[in-house]
Amino acid sequence: MSTISIQTSVEQLLDAVAQLPPDELDSLTEKIVALRAAHAAPHVEANEAELLLQINRDIPTDIRLRNNELIKKRIAETLSSTELTELINITNLFEKREAERVTALAALARLRQMSLPDLMTALGIQAPTYE
């Protein structure tokens, strides 16, 4: 590991950081980001943070768009059998993701000792609507 003499000013600190090799700079960056997160939200426990990541994990945009296309075709009754199979698979993916999300929400509600509806309100989460 590199040893760098650091003065107190931010500019001098940045000059010292600029001297680090890339792998050490990456390591320092990760530590700074973690430190910043701890300062920004000191009340968020590690398991809360992981649960929040699970709650906010989303289905990729391309899959969402394809799902919307297939739903429109289903409504118009122009869906082929191959597309129907694809729509069923995408629907299963959405249902699995939603089940994971609800499980994480319930775990977070227990951790915070709140009801699930109160937690959802606090997080600004609405129940999904389906077509």
pLDDT tens, residue by residue, 65-111: 999 999 999 999 999 999 999 999 999 999 999 999 999 999 999 99
Distances (CA, A) of 13 to 4, 10, 65, 104: 10, 5, 46, 40
Position 33 scores a pLDDT of 61
Structural domain range at position 80: 46-123
Residue at 2 is within a domain: no
Residue at 1 is within a domain: no
Position 76 scores a pLDDT of 97
* Structure token pair of residue 41: 């939200």
pLDDT in tens, 17-68: 888 887 787 778 767 765 665 565 556 677 888 899 999 888 999 999 999 9
Same domain, 69 and 24: no
Same domain, 118 and 56: yes
Same domain, 35 and 68: no
Instruction: Tell me the CB-side half-sphere exposure of residue 32, using CA atoms within 13 A.
Output: 9
Position 23 scores a pLDDT of 77
Same domain, 94 and 112: yes
How far, in Å, CA of 91 to CA of 2, rounded?
52
- Contact of 100 with 113, CB cutoff 8 Å: no
Residue at 98 is within a domain: yes
Same domain, 66 and 84: yes
Same domain, 64 and 31: no
Same domain, 20 and 53: no
Quote the number of domains for the chain: 2
pLDDT mean over 112-119: 93
User: What's the chain's length in residues?
Assistant: 131
Position 29 scores a pLDDT of 75
How far, in Å, CA of 34 to CA of 97, rounded?
27
How far, in Å, CA of 115 to CA of 121, rounded?
10
How far, in Å, CA of 40 to CA of 64, rounded?
32
Residue at 129 is within a domain: no
How far, in Å, CA of 9 to CA of 129, rounded?
53
**Whole-model pTM over 0.85:** no
Residue at 71 is within a domain: yes
